[in-house]
Amino acid sequence: MTNSPGRTVTANLALTLDGRYNGPDGPDDLNAILPYVTTEVARNHLTRIWEGATTALLGRRNAEGFLGYWATVAADDNADPRDRGYAKWLVDTEKVVLSTTLTEAPWERARVMNAPAAEVVAELKTAGAGDILVNSSVSVIKALLSADLLDRLYLMICPEIAGGGQRLFDDGLPSSQ
C-alpha cells in the first residue's frame, strides 16, 4: 500500500479464514461473515474508520444494497448507536458510486461515475478534505489494490472457513516487496 499525498483512501472488508468475502452459494452468501460484523469489536472498529471520512466510495452492487439497509437503520431509534451513527454518516455524506450501468445515483448526496476506480480516486484525492472510505465494495477494493492506491486496508478475519466463494486475493498477484 502507498503513502500518497492528498486525502487518505481507507478500505474495510471482512474475510473468512480461507480468504473469502462470500460463501459457496454466491455473492449473497454471507453466512460465515454476518455473525462477526455485528460484534462489539466490529462495531467499534467501523466507528473508528468512518469518523474521519467525508466521502464513501462504493461499487454499484453495494450502493444499491446499502441503500435498502442503512437508510432504515439511520431512522431506527432502537438500533445500536454505533450502527445508527454509521448509517446516518452514510446517508448524509458524499457518496461516489462506480458503475457502468447506472444512469442515476441510487440515493441523495450521491453521484455516479462511469470511470476506472483509479481515475476516480486520483480525482477525489485532489479535492476536498477527509478520508475516502471504501467499505465492503470488493470490486473497488481490488481495483485500488491493483493500482496501489489504498493507503489503509482493514481486514476483519472471521474465524470460519467458507470452503468456497470469492477471494479478495487471487493467485498470481505481484509481490508487495
pLDDT digits (tens, 9 = 90+) for 96-130: 999 999 988 878 899 999 999 999 999 999 988 89
Give a yes or no: residue 21 inside a domain: yes
Report CA-CA distances (Å) from 81 to 40, 60, 137. 11, 27, 23
Average pLDDT over residues 15-33: 95
What pTM value is reported for the model?
Answer: 0.91
The span from the CA of 71 to the CA of 95, in Å, is: 14
Please state at what angle helix 81-92 crosses helix 60-74, rounded to 10 degrees. 120
> End-to-end distance of the chain based on CA atoms, in angstroms?
11
* pLDDT at residue 1 greater than cutoff 60: no
* pLDDT at residue 4 greater than cutoff 70: no
* pLDDT at residue 154 greater than cutoff 90: yes
> 5 falls in which pLDDT band (50, 70, 90)?
low
> 177 falls in which pLDDT band (50, 70, 90)?
low
The CATH number of whichever domain residue 73 belongs to comes to 3.40.430.10
Using a pLDDT cut of 90, give the percent of the chain over it. 82
Please report the pLDDT score of residue 94 as a whole number: 95
Quick one: cell of 173? 498477484
State which residues form the domain around 73: 9-158
Give a yes or no: residue 170 inside a domain: no
Give a yes or no: residue 124 inside a domain: yes
Give a yes or no: residue 57 inside a domain: yes
Give a yes or no: residue 166 inside a domain: no
